[in-house]
Amino acid sequence: MRTFTILIANGPNLGHIGRRQPEIYGSRSLDDLPELIRDILGPEKAGRITLEHFQSNGEGQLIDRLEEAMRQGVDGIVLNAGAYTHTSLALADCLAWIGIPCVEVHLSNILARNDEPLRHKSLIGRSTIGVIAGFGLHSYALGVCALWQRFMDTAQHTPKE
């Protein structure tokens, strides 16, 4: 059975998930992600997914890693670009051209952040297959599940040789 590689990519200030502002972002860390994915998809499907993790506070480093993912043949990306979500045309352009299905995720509900209306807009969302926000670490697990479903839907519509 085919396995799938998914890159979990995090932008600025996301190197301390579970410790940074838990009242906003939750207290679970990325170490908990495989367990959440198993709980949602089940052990058989989850066992066919390999997660790679990357975090950078630099926009250029994120773009470099996404381009590297394309060269490596990574199957999907779950991306929390942090503040770059709202400001980075370069990141949006990169996602548009690399051709890897990507789910934009956020720990908090960016639309409910009334104190910061800038956070209501996503420049990268137009280059993704979907956006999941507001579920803490579950946002990442749901992003992986969305990619899994995309892989399965694509496989059903691919002609057999």
User: What is the token pair recorded at 145?
Assistant: 């599940």
Residue 49 lies in a domain: yes
Active-site residue (options: 84, 106, 138, 140): 106
Structural domain tally of the chain? 1
Rounded to whole angstroms, how far apart are CA atoms 33 and 129? 21
pLDDT at 118: 64
pTM of the model: 0.90
Residue 85 lies in a domain: yes
Residue 150 lies in a domain: yes
Active-site residue (options: 25, 84, 138, 140): 25
If you average pLDDT over residues 96-119, what whole number do you get? Answer: 85
pLDDT at 84: 93
Residue 108 lies in a domain: yes
Q: Does the structure show a pLDDT above 60 at 161?
A: no
CATH of the domain at 80: 3.40.50.9100
Kindly report, residue by residue over 12-62, the tens digit of the pLDDT. 988 887 777 777 777 777 888 889 899 999 999 999 999 999 999 999 999
pLDDT at 117: 62
Residue 161 lies in a domain: no
pLDDT at 13: 85
pLDDT band at 152 (very low <50, low <70, confident <90, very high): very high
Residue range(s) defining the domain that contains residue 10:
4-156
Q: Look up 140 and say whether it is catalytic.
A: no
